[in-house]
């Protein structure tokens, strides 16, 4: 039938519907209507039959009625005039003695969605609210919400609203929940239903009578209620406690969300709620429904952001099943990475090793990436697995391993040796451009230690004409130049060829410009080249990026818990070809918590700004990786930039202490030099947004620099005596850089004095002494927003002041 033309079908059906013989035989009539609905649900337009169907509506046969209503509700908006005819039948049905007919008529009356008809509908709805059958009351209550949504701007009758509030005490739980839903919609502009103490307690007491859907809805509405005191709060919590263990995931999730919002000021209670809900969450993560499994896994990832130790012993629950779809496997691996600790690392790596040869290439790449991220803390084991995988000689595995190794040596330079030995005797030819890029990068950086590096590069240079990816070409240029620095004799010739090709024949402008840049750079002399290329390798060798993402406060994600957002978040990261590798905590949770405890006096400190009170709010998510930070930092050099001198001594607390303190105001520390070195630097970032205004979110990157000012010489010597870990070469380099910085600083300082005179006047006025102890704050921002920068600066300085006074106190005590 679907293949016949619409016209033909409609004509045939119309003939059948208006045939008196058919109409007389109710079974035949019903079957014809059946056919109409079937055609309709197949997606054909049968709106032409509207008038025939209106006639069919007047019947005593309930099944036929229901079928006709399905049709009428779908096409009412196309035939508003004819629908008036239906209203009469419906109104008659509303006074039928059978409650089922009454509720059916009432429901479909509102479902016609014709604003013009609302005057006819209101009267039966008012009557329906007082009906003795619960099923009619359910429909009538929601009917008011439907009417409101048709005419959202008209004022709702106060009497109706009051009536609905009254029906919250209806004996039927569904009517009660429907009242909540209707009031939420009708009173949307006033912020939804008003939850006062009697209503809240009434809802809580009736909770057990509702089914799971009602329960989760009531729990969601209760989030708006704020208990008066601790006693009431704990009464509510103990009432809700059994629901945390519900084996219905919707109820459990809604309860947990309510717990988190009620106890946002009581972290200990939140933690124990998370622990209670652990069992049901794990059960949901092992449910037969794979969609539910996925939802649970995404939420578990949220939980782990604040409580990495929560599921440590249950790591086996996240081993992948053989037949699970790739997206679940990948999610489970991301969870596994977070759960690694000394006890289970061997088992987890063994398991992940098995996934590397998965049939699905994305799954195997995720597994390799996961091993790479574990490698940041368990380097040796992971390197052994990764280099072993190269032996498989499978294209996609090799490519993923190379990319992972590149990321790993960037963070852990000590793995260089293992990587070099893996590259020794390399002969594969990779097709994948990302893998080739990674190989070239490694060859460039470790060219001096890999014997065959020039030959490998030569192969690439010979094939550069057929290379399509511009990224590989730029990577090739850089690698060749780097290799030239370490092994000039072998590389010079091919480098010449490459530069000639790139400058004269290359069509991609980026590649050509880079080639030109290198060409001119080579004219300047080998020292310049060295400085540019090898300086870029690591901005400051003494800077070890802080691996380890300290636990986020629960409030960071509580607002998106049990919403669709975690599921779509997962989609964006997993779908990405280059997944953002989650960071691993090398600092054990214990040390972190002890630091946090040590710092707990600070929140109570009056100096500490409350970041939520001002118009400016800071947040650390989305997190930046050290690589991203560096890229942005260099990119924004020319953009919004502000340098300010702050009169504040170097905080004498430990790096971790500083980190935790800054975290309390949502500033993330990314890297810093060891405490007693000079110059002392810290790199920070944060995201800002204004609560009041509509200005977009901005990202602020900042560097704290303490050069030591005039007293530099002495302190420098002191530093030498104290810490001998600074190597000779590094210090020379540092010295040079420092000199530059210092000049800059002086220049800037003067300029600043004029620019920011009004703001920093006092501090600048202090002159010499201030410079001695002052910290230089260099801030870069994207996109530019001066007020946000100022706000950030004031938060930062307050924290620094607090810290120095706080530590001073502890020192004197």
Site for other proteins, residues 371 to 430, rule: CB under 8 A: 391-394
State which residue, 113 or 725, has the beta carbon closest to other proteins. Answer: 113
- Applying CB under 8 A, among 66, 201, 224, 801 the residue interacting with other proteins is 66
| 720/739 Cα distance (integer angstroms) | 18
The verdict on 114 binding other proteins (CB under 8 A) reads no
- Applying CB under 8 A, among 192, 279, 416, 541 the residue interacting with other proteins is 279
Query: What are the CA-CA distances from residue 512 to residues 393, 481, 508, 515, 639 (Å)?
Result: 34, 15, 6, 5, 25
State which residue, 400 or 667, has the beta carbon closest to other proteins. Answer: 400
User: What's the closest the beta carbon of residue 11 comes to other proteins, in angstroms?
Assistant: 22
- Applying CB under 8 A, among 362, 458, 643, 756 the residue interacting with other proteins is 362
| 337/348 Cα distance (integer angstroms) | 8
User: What's the closest the beta carbon of residue 172 comes to other proteins, in angstroms?
Assistant: 11
The verdict on 92 binding other proteins (CB under 8 A) reads no
User: What's the closest the beta carbon of residue 363 comes to other proteins, in angstroms?
Assistant: 7
User: What's the closest the beta carbon of residue 19 comes to other proteins, in angstroms?
Assistant: 21
Please tell me whether residue 264 adopts helix, strand or coil conformation.
coil
The verdict on 121 binding other proteins (CB under 8 A) reads no
State which residue, 142 or 616, has the beta carbon closest to other proteins. Answer: 142
The verdict on 181 binding other proteins (CB under 8 A) reads yes
* CA max distance for the chain: 111
- Applying CB under 8 A, among 330, 474, 659, 802 the residue interacting with other proteins is 330
| 115/126 Cα distance (integer angstroms) | 17
CA angle 573, 574, 579 (to 5 degrees): 65
State which residue, 113 or 697, has the beta carbon closest to other proteins. Answer: 113
User: What's the closest the beta carbon of residue 67 comes to other proteins, in angstroms?
Assistant: 6
| 700/687 Cα distance (integer angstroms) | 6
Alpha-carbon dihedral angle through residues 211, 214, 215, 219, given to the nearest 10 degrees: 180
Q: How many residues bind other proteins (CB under 8 A)?
A: 94
State which residue, 379 or 394, has the beta carbon closest to other proteins. Answer: 394
Beta bridge partners of 544: 672
User: What's the closest the beta carbon of residue 384 comes to other proteins, in angstroms?
Assistant: 14
Q: For the segment 146-175, give every residue that binds other proteins (CB under 8 A).
A: 146, 149, 174
The verdict on 681 binding other proteins (CB under 8 A) reads no
Query: In 3D, which of 321, 402, 403 has the Cα closest to residue 358?
Result: 321
- Applying CB under 8 A, among 10, 67, 311, 661 the residue interacting with other proteins is 67
Please tell me whether residue 646 adopts helix, strand or coil conformation.
strand
- Applying CB under 8 A, among 79, 261, 331, 688 the residue interacting with other proteins is 331
Structure tokens at 312: 């440590």
| 500/510 Cα distance (integer angstroms) | 15
- Applying CB under 8 A, among 154, 289, 600, 787 the residue interacting with other proteins is 289
Q: Is 767 exposed, middle or buried (0-12, 13-18, 19+ CB in 10 A)?
A: exposed
Query: What are the CA-CA distances from residue 640 to residues 616, 643, 778 (Å)?
Result: 18, 10, 11
Stretch near other proteins under the rule CB under 8 A, chosen from 245-253, 300-308, 599-607, 765-773: 245-253
Q: Could you give the string, one character per residue 29-48, with x where binding to other proteins holds by CB under 8 A and - elsewhere?
A: -----x--xx--xxx-----
- Applying CB under 8 A, among 11, 15, 113, 751 the residue interacting with other proteins is 113
The verdict on 6 binding other proteins (CB under 8 A) reads no
Q: For the segment 215-234, give every residue that binds other proteins (CB under 8 A).
A: 216-217, 220
What number of other Cβ atoms are within 10 A of residue 170's Cβ?
A: 19
Q: For the segment 553-582, give every residue that binds other proteins (CB under 8 A).
A: 562-568, 570-571, 574-575
Structure tokens at 632: 């942005």
Tokens 């039959």 correspond to 49
Query: In 3D, which of 252, 179, 248, 174 has the Cα closest to residue 214?
Result: 174
């Amino acid at each position: 039938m679907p293949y016949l033309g619409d016209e033909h079908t409609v004509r045939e059906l119309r003939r059948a519907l208006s045939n008196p013989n058919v109409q007389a035989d109710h079974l035949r009539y019903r079957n014809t209507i059946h056919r109409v609905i079937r055609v309709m649900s197949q997606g054909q337009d049968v709106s032409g039959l509207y008038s025939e169907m209106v006639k069919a509506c007047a019947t005593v046969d309930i099944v036929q009625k229901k079928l006709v209503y399905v049709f009428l509700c779908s096409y009412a908006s196309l035939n508003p005039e004819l629908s008036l005819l239906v209203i009469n039948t419906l109104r008659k049905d509303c006074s039928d003695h059978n409650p089922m007919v009454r509720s059916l008529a009432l429901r479909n009356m509102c479902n016609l969605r014709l604003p013009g008809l609302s005057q006819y509908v209101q009267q039966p709805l008012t009557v329906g609210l007082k009906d003795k059958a619960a099923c009619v009351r359910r429909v009538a209550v929601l009917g008011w919400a439907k009417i409101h949504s048709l005419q959202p701007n008209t004022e709702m009758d106060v009497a109706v609203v009051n009536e609905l509030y009254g029906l919250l005490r209806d004996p039927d739980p569904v009517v009660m929940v429907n009242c909540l839903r209707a009031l939420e919609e009708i009173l949307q502009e006033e912020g939804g239903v008003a939850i006062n103490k009697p209503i809240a307690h009434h809802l809580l007491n009736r909770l057990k009578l509702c089914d799971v859907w009602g329960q989760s809805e009531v729990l969601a509405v209760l989030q708006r209620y704020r208990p008066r005191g601790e006693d009431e709060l704990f009464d509510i919590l103990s009432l809700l406690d059994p629901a945390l263990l519900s084996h219905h995931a919707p109820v459990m999730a809604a309860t947990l969300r309510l717990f988190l919002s009620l106890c946002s000021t009581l972290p200990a209670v939140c933690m124990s709620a998370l622990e209670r809900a652990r069992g049901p969450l794990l059960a949901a993560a092992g449910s037969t429904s794979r969609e539910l499994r996925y939802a649970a896994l995404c939420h578990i990832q949220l939980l782990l952001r604040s409580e990495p130790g929560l599921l440590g012993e249950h790591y086996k629950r996240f081993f992948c099943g053989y037949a699970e779809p790739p997206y679940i496997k990948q999610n489970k691996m991301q969870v596994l990475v977070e759960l690694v600790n000394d006890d289970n690392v061997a088992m987890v790596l063994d398991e992940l090793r098995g996934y590397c040869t998965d049939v699905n290439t994305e799954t195997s790449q995720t597994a390799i990436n996961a091993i790479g991220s574990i490698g940041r803390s368990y380097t040796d084991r992971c390197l052994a697995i990764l280099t072993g995988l190269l032996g498989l000689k499978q294209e996609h595995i090799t490519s993923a391993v190379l990319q992972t190794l590149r990321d790993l040596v960037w963070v852990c330079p000590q793995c260089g040796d293992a990587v070099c030995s893996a590259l020794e005797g390399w002969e594969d030819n990779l097709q994948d451009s990302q893998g080739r890029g990674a190989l070239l990068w490694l060859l460039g950086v470790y060219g001096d230690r890999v014997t065959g590096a020039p030959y490998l590069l030569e192969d690439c240079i010979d094939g550069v004409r057929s290379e399509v990816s511009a990224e590989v070409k730029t990577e090739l240029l850089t690698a060749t130049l780097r290799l030239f620095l370490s092994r000039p004799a072998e590389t010079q010739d091919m480098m010449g060829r490459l530069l000639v090709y790139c400058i004269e024949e290359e069509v991609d402008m980026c590649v050509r410009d880079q080639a030109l840049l290198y060409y001119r750079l080579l004219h300047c002399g080998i020292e310049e080249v060295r400085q540019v290329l090898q300086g870029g390798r690591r901005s400051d060798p003494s800077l070890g990026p802080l691996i380890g993402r300290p636990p986020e406060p629960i409030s960071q994600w509580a607002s998106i818990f049990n919403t669709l957002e975690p599921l779509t978040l997962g989609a964006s990261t997993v779908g990405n070809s280059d997944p953002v590798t989650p960071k691993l905590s090398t600092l054990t949770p214990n040390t972190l918590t002890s630091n946090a405890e040590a710092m707990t006096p600070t929140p109570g400190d009056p100096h500490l700004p409350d970041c939520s009170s001002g118009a400016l709010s800071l947040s650390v998510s989305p997190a930046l990786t050290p690589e991203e930070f560096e890229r942005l930092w260099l990119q924004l050099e020319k953009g919004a930039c502000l340098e300010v001198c702050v009169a504040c001594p170097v905080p004498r607390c430990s790096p971790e202490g500083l980190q935790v303190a800054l975290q309390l105001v949502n500033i993330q520390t990314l890297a810093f030099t060891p405490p007693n070195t000079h110059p002392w630097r810290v790199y920070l970032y944060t995201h800002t947004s204004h609560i009041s205004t509509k200005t977009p979110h901005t990202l602020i990157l900042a560097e704290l620099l303490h050069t030591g000012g005039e007293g530099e010489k002495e302190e420098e010597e002191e530093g030498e005596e104290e810490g001998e870990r600074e190597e000779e070469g590094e210090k020379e380099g540092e010295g040079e850089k420092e000199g530059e910085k210092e000049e800059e600083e002086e220049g800037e300082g003067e300029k600043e004095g004029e620019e920011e005179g009004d703001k920093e006047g006092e501090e600048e006025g202090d002159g010499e002494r201030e410079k001695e102890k002052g910290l230089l704050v260099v801030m870069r921002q994207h996109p530019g927003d001066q007020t946000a920068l100022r706000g950030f600066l004031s938060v930062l300085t307050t924290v620094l002041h607090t810290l120095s006074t706080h530590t001073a106190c502890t020192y004197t005590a």
